[in-house]
Amino acid sequence: MQFEVWAPEADSVVLEAADVRCAMERDAGREGWWTAGAEASDGDRYGFRVDDGPLLPDPRSRRQPDGPDGPSAVVDQEAYAWREAWAGRRLNRAVLYELHVGTYTPEGTFDAAAARLGHLAELGVTHVSLMPVCPFPGVNGWGYEGVSLWAVHEPYGGPEGLKRFVDTAHGLGLGVILDVVHNHLGPSGNHLPAFGPYFTDTHHTPWGAAVNLDAPGSDEVRAFLLGSALAWLRDYRLDGLRLDAVHALADTRALTFLEELSAAVDALAVEVGRPLGLIAESDLCDPRTTTPRPAGGLGLHAQWNDDFHHALHTALTGESQGYYADFARAPLAALAKTVTSGFFHNGTFSSFRGRTHGRPVDVTRTPAHRFVGYAQTHDQIGNRALGDRLAASLPPGLQACAAALVLTGPFTPMLFMGEEWGARTPWQFFTDHTDPELAEAVRNGRRREFGAHGWDQEEIPDPQDPATRDRSCLDWSEPGREPHARLLAWYRELIALRRTLPDLHDPDLASVKTAFDEDARWLAYRRGDLRIAVNLADGPAAIPLGSGRHRRAGGRVLAAWEPVEAPGADGFLHLPPESCVVLADD
């Protein structure tokens, strides 16, 4: 087989494959590339020596059986016999479910997770959104410190394990989206700098030197990242990618990397004959992220909406620290603005940032499904000092209200694993760094960070302690007992309504009408012929549905957390404390 590697500054490159060692030759047709042919088959180890240096794994390695510091292994992508024919699933009527392979089950493998996918099919979600699966040193971690961007973490099950997972998901009607990280690589096991200018000091990020998207050599770096993204979608039959923190991609070129990526993915979708999606994580509050390329945007298909989360979180919890401060002044007003305008920060002043932030959304042209709405994510739970979920502090009624706002709202809903039954297990920050100095630095850094916010440093879980990961695993006995079973049934009921009622996946943001009372702590909104109301107060609420002579009586109760009657002749809905309802007009 033919081996190749980009090493533009090297004087020599040697291939070691199986029992073969041979000098590679420069590729006359591609500057900076080296090639060599050698006998090798599936599973054979190989690597490269640059200028007589140590044996290094292939930057485009498909498998790292001994971890990111070991040799690469040849992978025959045609060897897996796919069981399921799959036509794909679009994002415009999706319900997403964020899942971390390493803690979804105690075993922490693709196969163990696949065995639990029937739960998600019964729940009614449409897509599993996997957190990153690229290799990193050790066994356990969130995945955002991956270093081999074309390979699959071996402890999870490697390439074959991922294919079995995707195959099983597709057989149950579930699409699979993968979280990929292009803005940085992990601090340990990253060998890319030995090959070429994959990073640049022109820009700096929270993780150090930036990935090189616009300095000399960036054409090949972009091709490396594009090739990786397309390989995930093509070789593993994934349905889309979630792009981590795109606001941290330092890119000053006229044609941005994200535009190139969206064009390439759209072309691949045509080639493979099924829809493929790109979902951005961005804190810019910029509608151009998902504006089509011909209209001057980046052409991504959806973006996470942290404004919706922050408004919802402050309304539920009353928290006001950090970035919640912008929303805590009037959380229901912030929530109402977000579900009708797309963003809360659309050019408004952000006290957290000390400046104006965001850009207005043209709600007449931007479909609501381009925003992903959620009450909980891996970040919003795991970046808390103790990794506590909403279930740790909210009663079931308020959790039910959160579910109603996410699942009947205008945005594409997303759940975080275990949320659907109010999991009591935390989801904490855990690592498995094999470098003792790095492990100690991460441990002390986290303690200092939260100590500065008033926490007792001894209370902060040790990321390196295996017990921290173990505590974060879901407890699969919970869904079968109360109060978890009731909440799970509520999630199923709401997802079923979303699937069957066209008004709940209407993309027209301009048609969403809201009303709220900040002091009484209720919010209601209309979506077509449906009215949704939540009462976050610890006392009953009398909610006027409509105003004056337009106030509506009657209606059918489609779903309610607590027993409730349709509005009477006075047009008021009387909603019990910490409760919610979905009504349909007669």
- Please report where in the chains the tokens 């539920």 appear, as a residue: 316
Q: Which residue is catalytic, options 244, 260, 326, 419?
A: 244
Annotated catalytic, 260?
A: no
Whether 143 contacts 131, CB under 8 Å: yes
Mapping DSSP to helix (H, G, I), strand (E, B) and coil, where does residue 552 land? coil
Instruction: Please give the angle made by the CA atoms of 39, 45 and 46, to the nearest 5 degrees.
Output: 75
Task: Answer whether 518's CB lies under 8 Å from 333's CB.
Answer: yes
In 305-427 the beta strands, taken as DSSP E runs, fall at 346-350, 355-358, 371-374, 412-416
Phi, psi of 383 (to 5 degrees): -90, 5
Strands 302-304, 240-243: pairing is unpaired
- Contact (CB, 8 A) for 420 and 491: yes
Element (H, E) at 262: helix 257-272
Contact 55, 62 (CB under 8 A): no
Beta bridge partners of 99: 130
User: Residues in the chain, how many?
Assistant: 586
Cβ atoms 131, 84 nearer than 8 A: no
| Helix axis angle, 257-272 to 218-235, nearest 10° | 30
With beta carbons less than 8 A apart as the criterion, state whether 130 and 236 touch.
no
Beta partners for residue 179, in sequence order: 242
Q: Is 38 within 8 Å of 3 (Cβ atoms)?
A: yes
Tokens of 410: 């205008």
Q: What is the DSSP letter of 251?
A: -
Q: Which amino acid would we find at residue 170?
A: H
Q: Is 259 a catalytic residue?
A: no
Does residue 239 contact residue 88 with C-beta atoms inside 8 Å? yes
Identify the residue whose tokens are 């209720």. 522
44, 281, 420, 432: the catalytic one is 281
Q: What CA–CA distance (Å, rounded) separates 564 from 404?
A: 15
First CA to last CA distance, the chain: 69
Instruction: Report d(CA 459, CA 18) in Å as an integer.
Output: 49
Token pair listed for 432: 């498995």
Return the active site residues. 244, 281
